Structure 1
């Protein structure tokens, strides 16, 4: 299976997707407490996000 990062669905499920990602991050940090995650947008999505959501480094406390 190949992932296509260029598809834009705009089906209104962004909050659900983000909640799923955050839940996965909490599970990841529970098993890897010394890890860190660096997140940024993919190139095809930068046009709508520049200045709104800069890359961030998240470390679980």
Structure 2
């Protein structure tokens, strides 16, 4: 799967999504935050912002 940013970004996006699914399953909606997902995925907040084009700090 390719993204507009190239194959590496696509893999990183999938890594974040997979981690988010796992963290939500373990902690529920109330117990999950972007910061926790980023921490569990082992990526930087900046990668989260860039990957999902967020207008706020992750």
- Return the TM-score normalized by structure 1: 0.44
Larger CA Rg, structure 1 vs 2: 1
| Structure ranking higher on relative contact order (CA contacts 8 Å, 6+ apart) | 1
Of Structure 1 and Structure 2, the greater helix share is in 2
Q: Which structure has more strand as a fraction of its residues?
A: 1
